[in-house]
Amino acid sequence: MSHIPGVRQAQKQKTRQALLDAALELLEGQSLSSLGLREVTRAAGVAPTAFYRHFRSIADLGVALVEEALGSLHPTIRTTVSTTGDGEERIARALELIAGHVDAYPAHVRFIARERHGGVRPVREAIHRQLGLFTAEVGEALAKDPVSAGWSEEDVLMLAQLYVDLMLGTASLLLEAPASEPGARERVSRMAARQMRLIGIGRTHWLDRPGGDR
Amino acid sequence: MSHIPGVRQAQKQKTRQALLDAALELLEGQSLSSLGLREVTRAAGVAPTAFYRHFRSIADLGVALVEEALGSLHPTIRTTVSTTGDGEERIARALELIAGHVDAYPAHVRFIARERHGGVRPVREAIHRQLGLFTAEVGEALAKDPVSAGWSEEDVLMLAQLYVDLMLGTASLLLEAPASEPGARERVSRMAARQMRLIGIGRTHWLDRPGGDR
DNA sequence: CCTTACGGAGAACAGTTGTTAACTGCATGG
DNA sequence: CCATGCAGTTAACAACTGTTCTCCGTAAGG
């Protein structure tokens, strides 16, 4: 199966990608639940009925967009977490990577932030599933750090969740920061850096509470 | 002006409220940007044209919904923050209040979580404006605590933002926790409690970093 | 009591929506 | 080289959308 790409399959993928791209662009100004099938095909330069050759429905296309968007986010998160250096360096590097990703894939970031709590159930579920995987991955990386010695698995996961949420929230804020005033981005970054710093401090003192873990 | 309510004004407010209620209910399964004017009036039992007597557009209605939803959230946040007792008690009490609010106004919570990053600009802005006020308010309460002695105003605000985001995120998770498995709610609460605990620890050690505040 | 102002209803509009069916052309595999 | 399968098109459908204009009943204010 899938022998050689083939002229046929290649053209199909091309149209499919055109649909995804058109949808993503249209989604900058609205939510997925208001996106129309005809609207998408029109923007993609394709007949309305061609849509059905690729997706069963708009919700289906949305799920495909989740894969695409979080696929591009995956390597970024991985390198963000596994950066070396002391705390302050890691924070700076992480913020650079986030800002870079926002610049490279603004529409993807917007899509995920918007549809994470959006009105289309299957898409919401797909996002939460993927973010769960990210959280687990981040948790794994955190567990390797000597600071995490003696931590329960549940505690590592709650820390990972805190970081993932913060990253997504920061990315969304960076996206909405008006390009008119460049100071806005700086302000968001500095705020996020402080928050990461505070979480880091809480992390290093997590086990010296009265009663220890639990 | 506004002499006595008057039969006339009272009926108008009643219809207006019917529109808001109908919209809020319809929004449980979709986003604001896909909500139709006719859809709302139909659900409210009113002619389509009556809509224009109350709102200029659906976006306008959305902004009104923001006021309503965050008006009901306001007292909850206030009491949450100003709870007395030691750290652990405060966390438990805060989580109770959040869970109580989610049960009392589920549609409001869903609306805010969804439209915070939603596809309708004016609504997004209204939410961010209101959340900014909440953050400032929380910050004010935090500043009064002796633990915050020596904190810069900016640091207090970043902590407040951390708390507000955590509260909203937790509320949203509680909302999506399936009623079929009651353990899900518990799990969400326990996770949120740990996160609040960690942030609290970071807070108490914020100033004993090498270099202190800056 | 009588006029005015206003909340709401009704009908009509041009435009758009999702989905169906029947088609065309051409790359593919035997 | 030819028959098959499939990506994409065209045409048509009933249903629905937001908005305008015109009308109606009645509470409000003099």
Q: What is the CATH number of the domain that holds B132?
A: 1.10.357.10
CA-to-C1' span, B58 to D7 (A): 39
Q: Is residue A18 part of a domain?
A: yes
Protein CB footprint (7 Å) on chain C nucleotides? 6-12, 16-22, 27-29
Residue A214 has a pLDDT of 46
Split into its structural domains, chain A has a count of: 2
Across residues B77-104, what is the average pLDDT?
87
Q: Are residues B91 and B194 in the same domain?
A: yes
Q: Are residues B153 and B63 in the same domain?
A: yes
In terms of C-beta density within 10 A (0-12 exposed, 13-18 middle, 19 or more buried), how is residue A70 classed? Answer: buried
**Strand D atom within 7 Å of A49 CB:** yes
Q: What is the pLDDT of residues A167-207, one digit of tens each?
A: 999 999 999 998 899 899 999 999 999 999 999 999 999 99
CB contact under 8 A, A200 and B202: yes
Across residues B69-84, what is the average pLDDT?
79
CA-to-C1' span, B117 to D17 (A): 25
CB contact at 8 A, B155 and B207 = no
How is residue A164 written in tokens?
């993932």
Q: Is A119 on the interface with B (CB under 8 A)?
A: yes
Confidence of residue A4 (pLDDT cuts 50, 70, 90): low
Residue B116 distance to chain A (closest CA, Å) = 8
Q: Are residues B157 and B129 in the same domain?
A: yes
* Cα distance between the two ends of chain B: 52
What span, in angstroms and rounded, lies between the C-alpha atoms of B162 and B178? 26
**Residue A3 belongs to what domain range?**
1-55
Residue B79 has a pLDDT of 80
Q: Are residues B128 and B38 in the same domain?
A: no
Choose one of B18, B38, B55: the last residue of a domain.
Answer: B55
Q: What is the pLDDT of residues B3-49, one digit of tens each?
A: 456 889 999 999 999 999 999 999 999 999 999 999 999 999 999 99
Residue A204 distance to chain B (closest CA, Å) = 9
Confidence of residue B78 (pLDDT cuts 50, 70, 90): confident
**Strand D atom within 7 Å of B3 CB:** yes
Residue A129 has a pLDDT of 97
Residue A71 has a pLDDT of 87
Q: What is the pLDDT of residues A70-106, one digit of tens each?
A: 987 777 777 877 776 678 999 999 999 999 999 999 9
Residue B74 has a pLDDT of 77
What span, in angstroms and rounded, lies between the C-alpha atoms of A146 and A202? 15
Q: Are residues B1 and B16 in the same domain?
A: yes
Could you tell me how far CA B17 lies from the centroid of its own chain? Answer: 20
How is residue A166 written in tokens?
């913060």
Q: Is residue B160 part of a domain?
A: yes
Confidence of residue A211 (pLDDT cuts 50, 70, 90): low
Across residues B64-77, what is the average pLDDT?
87
Minimum CA–CA partner of B202 in chain A: A202
Confidence of residue B84 (pLDDT cuts 50, 70, 90): low
Q: Are residues A134 and A181 in the same domain?
A: yes
What span, in angstroms and rounded, lies between the C-alpha atoms of B111 and B118? 10
Q: Which of A186, A175, A52, A29 is nearest to A106 (CA)?
A: A175
Q: Are residues B97 and B158 in the same domain?
A: yes
Q: Which of B94, B6, B18, B92 is nearest to B53 (CA)?
A: B18
Q: Are residues A178 and A203 in the same domain?
A: yes
Residue A209 has a pLDDT of 72
- Quick check: A1 pLDDT over 50? no
Q: What is the pLDDT of residues B140-173, one digit of tens each?
A: 999 999 999 999 999 999 999 999 999 999 999 9
CB contact at 8 A, A77 and A112 = no
Instruction: Name every chain B residue with its beta carbon within 8 A of the beta carbon of A158.
Output: 191, 194-195, 198
Q: Is residue B214 part of a domain?
A: no
Residue B168 distance to chain A (closest CA, Å) = 12
Q: What is the mean pLDDT of chain B?
A: 93
Q: Are residues A49 and A62 in the same domain?
A: no
How is residue B11 written in tokens?
């009926």
CB contact under 8 A, B205 and A205: yes
Q: Are residues A154 and A199 in the same domain?
A: yes
Across residues B133-138, what is the average pLDDT?
94
Instruction: Name every chain A residue with its beta carbon within 8 A of the beta carbon of B202.
Output: 198-203, 205
B193 CB neighbour count, 10 Å cutoff: 17
Q: What is the pLDDT of residues A113-141, one digit of tens each?
A: 999 999 999 999 999 999 999 999 999 99
Dihedral sign for Cα A62, A189, A167, B148, please: negative
Q: What is the pLDDT of residues B176-192, one digit of tens each?
A: 998 899 899 999 999 99
Q: Are residues A187 and A171 in the same domain?
A: yes
Across residues B66-80, what is the average pLDDT?
84
Q: What is the CATH number of the domain that holds A3?
A: 1.10.10.60
Q: Is residue A214 part of a domain?
A: no
Residue B1 has a pLDDT of 40
Q: Are residues A29 and A71 in the same domain?
A: no
Residue A81 has a pLDDT of 77
Residue B214 has a pLDDT of 47
**Strand D atom within 7 Å of A38 CB:** no
List Cβ neighbours of A149 (8 Å cut-off, separation of 6 or more): none
Confidence of residue B211 (pLDDT cuts 50, 70, 90): low
